[in-house]
Every structure is written in structure tokens, then in C-alpha cells.
């Protein structure tokens, strides 16, 4: 965004004078500002502020004049300087109360800790240390370990921030190794403690989203809690969840390919009707665009998933429906796990959420990161995209032979 245009003081005075002269000639105040602003290409609101300021300075309008504002600003600046000096001395009271001059390393550490807030020279003036002493200490050669730690801290912070701030030491270490950065896991743990970084922890209150329909015909459980597949598009799991927003409760449904842990379909809505998981299923079918004759679609016994519309769409796509029990997270553990990651890595860390639209956009970005950049320990610490690409590459290679 370009910097705001700054007008010369001479131009401001001339334009304001033109407004006053226009008012005198026309005998009307209304319209003078708009006419002059349009003729000179100046924003009307900007010119209106200039005219108001001139009227206040001349006494025609009540308000604080420019001269009074300048005097007030000077007094506020002096007050800020005195407050800053008091805060510096209060922060330094821990090592200054002993009377003897603290060690230079202690002074340098204190200045480093507060220099962004108060500046080096003001701090040195209050603790009676020459700025040259501080700068001399800072220019001494550093140890190889401290230099290496500084480089690693940057890389660790980068990996942590690029991955929604949810990676712990193990995943940060894995990602650094993937990028060719040779570092010990214990070093990553030590530096993350120093940086105050920690991985996301799952947990929180639960809301019931699975409401069974006692009259619906239910499919058999074809999975039996064995969430494994030998290739993509052999087993999908689906489940909804809820997210509280300021505008009401929102619901999100996911469809996950068990083979690669890839989210192949999702949908966010303000309701829990059949349309919600059905739209997620439609996205998954469109996204895969592949033969789904051998696919098993597994879900819980929620009325949305056992409805006639949803079941008919599965049959139309060539999928075999599989349904677990009601309210038993183990019967749909993989889908529950993905939802747990979604809640932990996005919903709780980036909330609170204002509207469904805000949540939907954030979910879109999170799913893209989850599928293409997040590493998963269950598939060998690679991304779902890399895992599937490796499968198809191996198959092409095998067919070529």
C-alpha cells in the first residue's frame, strides 16, 4: 500500500483560504469544501479537516488550537521520559540495590532484554553505564555454539510458524531433517524451551454431533476398527464436528482417505442437516475423480450419514457404506483423530471466530496446509501428498518393468 500523500503547508494554507473566499463570494458555507476539493483533486474529508483546524486556530470554532496541542504534546513527551526512567530503574532494582556495580555481562543482558522497549542510551543513562561499554561487550567474538544456536533458533521459529504453531520438538526436528538441517533432537528441545515454543496439546469439552435415527436402515460395520488401506480410494472415513462462533454454532464435516490421511472433502455450514456431510462427500468424489468401486465409506450412525439421500449417493458413486456404533469414538477413531487435530491446530489456537465465513476461509487454508505441508508420523513423517505421489510413482515403475 503506498504511503499517504503529504501536502506542503503552503498548499494547505492556500486551499483553506480559497474555501473561505468561496464562502464569502457565494454567501453560503455548504458546498464550498466539495467544490474546491474537486477542482484541486484533494480528498474532501482531508480538506474538511484542514478547514476545521483553521477555524479552531482562529477562534471561530471551539476546540484545541494547534499551539495548545503542541504544548500539550511537549508536556506529554516530558512525562513519558520521566515515566520511562522510573520504569527502567524499577526493572533494574533487582541487581542495583546491592550497591556494587554488577558484572558487565549482567548489565549487557539487562540492556538486551529491555532495549526494544526503552532504547540503549536511555537505559545506560539510568543505570550509569557508558553506552560504549555495552557496545564493546556486544562486539566481542561469540562462541561457535552460540552462533550455531542463533541459526537454529531462526530455523526452528520458521518451521514452528509455518506449521500453525502446533509442532512439538519431535515434528520440528523431523521437518528440519527433511530440509537437510543436521541437528540433534535434544538440541531442538533445548532451543524450543529457550524460545518458549511448545506443541499443541489435544483436549477440551465435547459436544454431541452424532444423533442416531432409530428408524433408518443401517449398514454393517465393514471396518471393525482396522483403519488401514493398501492404496488410495480404498477406505474413507467421515465425521462432523462443531465450532462455536460469535454469530452462532457452526458445523464442519470431513472426509478422509485412510491410506494417506488426506482430507479429500470437507464442508462448513450453520446446520447439521444431511446437506452438510453430503456436500463434503460430493467434494471428495469430485476431487478424486477416480473409480470408486472398491471404496468403503465408513462413518458413525448419525442420522445424516444413514439418511436415504446420503446412502443413495454412496451407491451411485459405487461406494460400499460402512457404519460404526453411536457415540463410540473408537469405531471411527481415525476421523475423530483428524477432527482432534483440526480443533487443536486451528480452532482453539486461532479463535475466537466471528462468523461462519471467517471459519470457512481459515479451514480452507488449514486443509491446504494439512494435505500438502504437514508431516504425519503415521505415514513415515511425510505429507499426504508426498505419500500418495510415492504410491503412484512406484506403481508406474512396477508396470514399466
Alpha carbon of 328 to those of 208, 255, 300: distances in Å? Answer: 11, 18, 8
Confidence band for 66, pLDDT divided at 50, 70 and 90: low
pTM of the predicted protein model = 0.59
pLDDT of residue 215: 47
More confident residue, 384 or 89: 384
Q: Does residue 99 carry a pLDDT above 60?
A: no
Q: What are phi and psi of 373, to 5 degrees?
A: -130, -20
Phi first, then psi, for residue 243 (nearest 5°) are -140, 130
Which pLDDT tens digit goes with each residue over 149-198? 889 999 999 999 999 888 999 999 999 999 999 999 999 999 998 888 88
The reported pLDDT for the residue numbered 100 is 62
Q: What angle do CA 235, 240, 245 make, to 5 degrees?
A: 150
Give the residue among 294, 321, 191, 280 at the shortest CA–CA distance from 234.
Answer: 294
**Which pLDDT value is given to residue 211?**
47
- For residues 400 and 130, which has the higher predicted lDDT (pLDDT)? 130
Cα dist. 257→228, 262, 278 in Å?
A: 10, 5, 16
Give yes or no for a contact between 332 and 239, defined as CB atoms under 8 angstroms apart. yes
Phi, psi of 236 (to 5 degrees): -110, 145
Least confident piece of the model among 211-220, 221-230, 374-383 = 211-220
Q: What is the spatial distance between Cα 18 and Cα 23, in angstroms, rounded to a whole number?
A: 9
- pLDDT top residue among 302 and 249: 249
DSSP 8-state class, residue 190: H
pLDDT digits over 240-271, tens only?
999 999 999 999 999 999 999 999 999 999 99
The confidence score (pLDDT) of residue 205 equals: 45
What pLDDT is attached to residue 1? 47
DSSP type of residue 29: S
For the chain, the average pLDDT equals: 82
pLDDT top residue among 49 and 346:
346
CA distance 38 to 48: 12
367: which 3 cell numbers? Answer: 486443509
Asked if pLDDT for residue 223 goes beyond 90, the answer is no
Question: Between the ranges 42-46, 51-55, 355-359, where is the mean pLDDT highest?
Answer: 355-359
Region 122-128: mean pLDDT is 78
Q: In what order do the strands lie in the sheet with 248-257?
A: 262-269, 248-257, 235-245, 296-299, 320-323
Q: Is 121 helix (H, G, I), strand (E, B) or coil?
A: helix
Q: Note the pLDDT of residue 27.
A: 65
The pLDDT, as a whole number, for residue 300 is 83
Residue given cell 512525562 in the structure block: 79
Query: pLDDT over 70 for what percent of the chain?
Result: 86
For the cut 50, the answer to whether the pLDDT of residue 214 exceeds it is no
pLDDT bin (cut points 50, 70, 90) of residue 328 is low
Q: What is the pLDDT of residue 208?
A: 46
Amino acid at each position: 500500500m503506498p504511503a499517504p500523500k503529504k501536502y506542503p503547508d503552503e498548499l494547505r494554507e492556500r486551499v483553506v483560504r480559497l474555501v473561505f473566499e468561496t464562502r464569502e463570494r457565494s454567501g453560503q458555507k455548504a458546498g464550498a469544501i466539495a467544490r474546491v476539493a474537486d477542482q484541486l483533486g484533494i480528498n474532501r474529508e482531508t480538506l474538511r479537516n484542514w478547514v476545521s483546524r483553521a477555524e479552531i486556530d482562529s477562534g471561530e470554532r471551539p476546540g484545541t488550537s494547534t499551539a495548545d496541542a503542541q504544548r500539550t504534546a511537549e508536556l506529554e513527551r516530558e512525562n513519558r521520559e520521566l515515566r520511562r526512567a522510573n520504569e527502567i530503574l524499577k526493572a533494574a532494582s533487582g541487581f542495583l540495590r546491592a550497591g556494587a556495580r554488577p558484572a558487565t555481562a549482567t548489565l549487557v543482558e539487562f540492556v538486551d532484554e529491555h532495549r526494544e522497549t526503552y532504547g540503549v542510551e536511555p537505559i545506560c543513562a539510568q543505570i550509569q553505564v557508558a553506552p560504549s561499554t555495552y557496545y564493546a561487550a556486544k562486539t566481542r567474538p561469540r562462541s561457535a555454539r552460540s552462533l550455531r544456536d542463533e541459526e537454529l533458533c531462526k530455523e526452528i521459529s520458521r518451521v514452528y510458524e509455518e506449521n500453525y504453531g502446533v509442532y512439538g520438538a519431535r515434528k520440528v526436528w523431523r521437518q528440519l531433517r527433511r530440509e537437510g538441517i543436521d541437528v540433534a533432537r535434544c538440541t531442538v528441545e533445548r532451543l524450543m524451551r529457550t524460545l518458549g515454543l511448545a506443541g499443541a496439546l489435544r483436549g477440551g469439552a465435547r459436544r454431541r454431533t452424532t444423533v442416531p435415527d432409530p428408524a433408518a436402515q443401517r449398514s454393517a460395520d465393514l471396518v471393525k476398527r482396522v483403519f488401514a488401506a493398501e492404496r488410495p480410494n480404498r477406505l474413507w472415513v467421515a465425521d462432523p464436528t462443531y465450532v462455536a462462533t460469535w454469530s452462532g454454532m457452526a458445523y464442519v464435516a470431513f472426509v478422509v482417505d485412510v491410506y494417506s490421511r488426506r482430507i479429500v472433502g470437507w464442508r462448513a455450514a450453520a446446520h447439521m442437516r444431511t446437506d452438510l456431510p453430503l456436500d463434503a462427500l460430493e467434494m471428495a468424489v469430485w476431487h478424486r475423480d477416480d473409480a470408486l468401486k472398491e471404496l468403503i465409506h465408513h462413518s458413525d450412525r448419525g442420522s445424516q450419514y444413514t439418511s436415504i439421500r446420503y446412502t443413495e449417493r454412496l451407491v451411485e458413486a459405487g461406494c460400499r457404506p460402512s457404519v460404526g456404533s453411536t457415540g463410540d469414538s473408537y469405531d471411527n477413531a481415525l476421523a475423530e483423530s483428524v477432527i482432534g487435530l483440526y480443533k487443536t491446530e486451528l480452532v482453539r489456537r486461532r479463535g475466537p471466530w466471528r462468523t461462519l465465513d471467517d471459519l470457512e476461509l481459515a479451514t480452507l487454508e488449514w486443509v491446504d496446509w494439512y494435505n500438502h505441508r504437514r508431516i504425519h508420523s503415521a505415514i513415515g513423517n511425510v505429507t499426504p501428498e508426498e505419500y500418495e505421489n510415492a504410491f503412484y510413482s512406484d506403481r508406474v515403475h512396477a508396470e514399466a518393468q
